[in-house]
Amino acid sequence: MSAEKIDAQNFKGGKKISNNLFGLFFEDINYSADGGLYAELVQNRSFEYNPTERKEWNPFSFWEYIAPGYSYGRISVETSAPIHPDNPHYLVLDVEHVGKEVKYVGISGVGIKNSGFENMVVKSNEKYNFSMFVRQLGKDPVSFNISLQTPKGKVLAESKISTSSNNWTKYTASLIPAQNNDTANLVILATTEGKFAIDVVSLFPEKTFKNRLNGMRADLAQVLADMKPRFIRFPGGCLTHGDGLGNMYRWKNTIGPVEQRKEQRNIWGYHQTTGLGYFEYFRFCEDIGAKPLPVLPAGVSCQNSGGTWRIGGTGQKALPMDEMQEYIQEILDLIEWANGPVTSAWGAKRASAGHPAPFNLEYVGIGNEDKITPEFEERFKMIFDAIKAKHPEITVVGTVGPGQDGDDFTKGWELADKLKIPVVDEHYYVQPEWFMANLHRYDKYPRSSSKVYLGEYASWGNKMKNAIAEAAYLTRIECNGDVVHMASYAPLLAKKGFTQWTTDLIFFDNLNILLTPNYYVQKMFSANQGDIYFDKVISKNENDSTLAASCVQDSKSGDIILKMVNYGNASKTMKINLYKFGKTAWEAEQIVLTGSPDAENTFGKTNRIVPTSSVIKIGRTFDYPAPPMSLTVVRIETKN
């Protein structure tokens, strides 16, 4: 059956396509979570950093011992009676002497200072919520001065806390800086003598996205919400299947009180607190109206574990068979945690985290571009069969390797056909020329096999030519929205100076956000999705391979959405005919993204390339001169 097959009766000559087509893929790569989207300002808050992550790291990394005012004491990292066995390290401070010398101007005491993720950005008159766990080790209470300070020691905000228990107890304080500062540090000073243990030292802006506790950085979360994604895939990527079996992302380690979560090495060479864990991912999806798509390992680790990509990717490890039943149960438990009633064991845990209503999980991804070995196939089938048997309502998303073709791609598709996997996840990172040469890739896909989730793709670059090649490809994804069920660009976020993957959708530092032309393309598609595709509404020179276009209708609003792409270097006219839609508005919203092929946004100039919006007059038929190197979206209301 051809991609252009239309169902004239139901859709006025249009073709039903997926209404979950454009979404996001969030992976904790490039410091996307800790130091990024997760709004925690303290780095290494639980003293769990260690040399397996970076050889120079240890439990005291990003902390500094301080003893101002001629004070002195002793410090050690201990593990004997932690807050929770999954959070084993904590700091012990023995304050031997707090100086009272008259000549010292400032706060005397013994304590620690945290420099955050390259310092902390704080804003004047905004509230910052501080908390720490302390266990008094002597009989007397310990008093603390908590402050935000500039690197030169100027106090921006301060508060006081006194301990009251010999058990681990959480103490909180509010800090409201009197002025803006981009290089603040958090200082905790014991101002009385005594010995104590301290752990999980945290500082969050009160203004997180939607003011959530343990929430997301508001400005970053907002640019994601602005895209109006239909789904979010998380937490990876390679982060999911992990660098060896012990590094697999296990969802149960990432829920519950943060002080009880299991922190771990990030496959991308840093540390993950899991403070941004499954509860937060699901809550964020709900907050922005996106469907959650968690991806779980298929019982095997990354084939590149231990850096074996250098010797041909032979590092896949498989869970022993006698651990598989327990592992499968872990996956079934996730479905119960997300959707089960509060009376179920896992539904009760969701409720106790503050979310009694189900999260309405519909999709579960199993595996991430794994090597399709017999070990993988055996484990995938066991998991797939178990989900199908217990939760036939869940759509399983399988995986077909790391490239647009090749051995794993072929074997992955063979497995998909054999098992009748509903959706499979394709990944490819290729040049813009590849996208332009392969616009018709999905026209040829059989309509009765598994649907495609294009879970990771990008052309190598963040210039206009990259973004517009991707836009051209997306018009064909819309046209093939009956076989391509979902699509998400990758990677999503990247912190300036901390990137492991150079081409990304959104760059940021502690203060600024850089939206790439690729971001605007994604947003223009994602915020303008339809569920019926129409052929022949836009006419263009079919022999000109630099032109692409699509027309969809959103059946909820009735709006018709035109997308027109010109990858060439001269303006080209397209002709639009809206007659089949009956009465349409005489004005429409038009958004245009255009620029020279090599133009890009930079931290020095973040708005070199931005889309422009306007209201244009239109008729039932009209001509559109598509500017060179451009994507145009026109949204037209219908009046039937």
Residues annotated as part of the active site: 369
Is omega for the bond preceding 422 within 30 degrees of 0, making it cis? no
Applying CB under 6 A, which of residues 24, 187, 188, 238 lies at the interface with ligand AHR? 238
**Residue closer to ligand AHR, measured from CB, 147 or 399:** 399
Tally the residues of the chain.
Answer: 640
| Minimum distance of ligand AHR from residue 466's CB (angstroms) | 15
For residues 205 and 174, give the distance between their C-alpha atoms in angstroms, rounded to a whole number: 10
Binders of ligand AHR in range 565-624 (CB under 6 A): none
Binders of ligand AHR in range 71-90 (CB under 6 A): none
Binding status of residue 237 toward ligand AHR by CB under 6 A: yes
Using alpha carbons, select from 92, 83, 97 the residue that is nearest to residue 196: 92
Of 124-132, 232-240, 250-258, 336-344, which segment contacts ligand AHR by CB under 6 A? Answer: 232-240
Query: Do strands 110-114 and 143-149 pair parallel, antiparallel, or not at all (unpaired)?
Result: unpaired
| Minimum distance of ligand AHR from residue 523's CB (angstroms) | 19
| Minimum distance of ligand AHR from residue 526's CB (angstroms) | 18
For residues 474 and 468, give the distance between their C-alpha atoms in angstroms, rounded to a whole number: 10
Name the phi and psi angles at 478, rounded to 5.
Answer: -65, -45
Query: In the stretch 361-400, what mask flags binding to ligand AHR with x, by CB under 6 A?
Result: -------xx-------------------------------
- Residue tagged 């009180």 (tokens): 257
What is the b/e burial string over 422-433, where b = at least 16 CB atoms within 10 angstroms of the residue's CB? Answer: bbbbbbbbbebe
Of 176-184, 230-238, 255-263, 617-625, which segment contacts ligand AHR by CB under 6 A? Answer: 230-238
Both tokens of 172, joined, read: 């909180």
CA distances from 483 to 2, 424, 448 (A): 11, 11, 9
Of 140-148, 220-228, 231-239, 515-523, which segment contacts ligand AHR by CB under 6 A? Answer: 231-239
What is the b/e burial string over 16-44, where b = at least 16 CB atoms within 10 angstroms of the residue's CB? Answer: ebbbbbbbbbbbbbbbbbbbbbbbbbbbb
**Residue closer to ligand AHR, measured from CB, 299 or 402:** 402
| Minimum distance of ligand AHR from residue 266's CB (angstroms) | 11
Query: In the stretch 530-559, what mask flags binding to ligand AHR with x, by CB under 6 A?
Result: ------------------------------
Amino acid at residue number 160: K
At a CB cut-off of 8 Å and minimum separation 6, what does 202 contact? 40, 42, 45, 129, 130, 131, 132, 258
Binding status of residue 275 toward ligand AHR by CB under 6 A: no
Binding status of residue 24 toward ligand AHR by CB under 6 A: no
At a CB cut-off of 8 Å and minimum separation 6, what does 104 contact? 68, 69, 70
- Residue tagged 């994804």 (tokens): 477
**Residue closer to ligand AHR, measured from CB, 490 or 576:** 490
Both tokens of 281, joined, read: 């991912």
**Residue closer to ligand AHR, measured from CB, 3 or 490:** 490
- Residue tagged 């990771």 (tokens): 456
| Minimum distance of ligand AHR from residue 220's CB (angstroms) | 18
Quick check: helix, strand or coil at residue 612? strand
**Residue closer to ligand AHR, measured from CB, 166 or 314:** 314
CA 183 to chain centre: 26
**Residue closer to ligand AHR, measured from CB, 400 or 634:** 400
**Residue closer to ligand AHR, measured from CB, 173 or 296:** 296
| Position closest to ligand AHR via CB | 237
| Minimum distance of ligand AHR from residue 268's CB (angstroms) | 8
| Minimum distance of ligand AHR from residue 501's CB (angstroms) | 5
**Residue closer to ligand AHR, measured from CB, 69 or 455:** 455
Binding status of residue 27 toward ligand AHR by CB under 6 A: yes
Using alpha carbons, select from 448, 390, 397 the residue that is nearest to residue 423: 397
Name the phi and psi angles at 186, rounded to 5.
Answer: -95, 130
Applying CB under 6 A, which of residues 456, 478, 559, 600 lies at the interface with ligand AHR? 456
Neighbours of 192 (CB within 10 A): 15
For residues 122 and 192, give the distance between their C-alpha atoms in angstroms, rounded to a whole number: 28
Say if CB 130 and CB 174 are below 8 A apart. Answer: yes
| Minimum distance of ligand AHR from residue 416's CB (angstroms) | 18
Quick check: helix, strand or coil at residue 57? coil
Name the phi and psi angles at 194, rounded to 5.
Answer: 150, 175
Of 197-205, 235-243, 445-453, 554-562, which segment contacts ligand AHR by CB under 6 A? Answer: 235-243
Using alpha carbons, select from 112, 94, 104, 111 the residue that is nearest to residue 70: 104
Binding status of residue 491 toward ligand AHR by CB under 6 A: yes
| Minimum distance of ligand AHR from residue 12's CB (angstroms) | 39
Which strands, in side-by-side order, build the sheet including 506-508? 493-495, 506-508, 513-515
At a CB cut-off of 8 Å and minimum separation 6, what does 368 contact? 236, 237, 238, 240, 241, 295, 297, 302, 399, 425
Applying CB under 6 A, which of residues 29, 146, 452, 468 lies at the interface with ligand AHR? 29
Number of residues interacting with ligand AHR: please give it, by CB under 6 A: 13
| Minimum distance of ligand AHR from residue 426's CB (angstroms) | 11
Applying CB under 6 A, which of residues 88, 111, 229, 236 lies at the interface with ligand AHR? 236
Amino acid at residue number 149: Q
Q: Where are the beta strands (DSSP E) in 215-342?
A: 231-234, 264-266, 270-272, 291-296
| Minimum distance of ligand AHR from residue 243's CB (angstroms) | 11
For residues 285 and 287, give the distance between their C-alpha atoms in angstroms, rounded to a whole number: 5
For residues 577 and 562, give the distance between their C-alpha atoms in angstroms, rounded to a whole number: 11
Of 144-152, 236-244, 481-489, 535-543, which segment contacts ligand AHR by CB under 6 A? Answer: 236-244
Of 69-77, 188-196, 234-242, 518-526, which segment contacts ligand AHR by CB under 6 A? Answer: 234-242
Using alpha carbons, select from 238, 360, 370, 393 the residue that is nearest to residue 299: 370
For residues 363 and 369, give the distance between their C-alpha atoms in angstroms, rounded to a whole number: 17
**Residue closer to ligand AHR, measured from CB, 291 or 427:** 427
**Residue closer to ligand AHR, measured from CB, 107 or 238:** 238
**Residue closer to ligand AHR, measured from CB, 145 or 368:** 368
| Minimum distance of ligand AHR from residue 238's CB (angstroms) | 4
Of 233-241, 289-297, 433-441, 566-574, which segment contacts ligand AHR by CB under 6 A? Answer: 233-241
Binders of ligand AHR in range 416-445 (CB under 6 A): 427
**Residue closer to ligand AHR, measured from CB, 69 or 402:** 402
Is omega for the bond preceding 237 within 30 degrees of 0, making it cis? yes
Residues at the contact surface with ligand AHR, assessed by CB under 6 A: 27, 29, 236-238, 368-369, 402, 427, 456, 490-491, 501
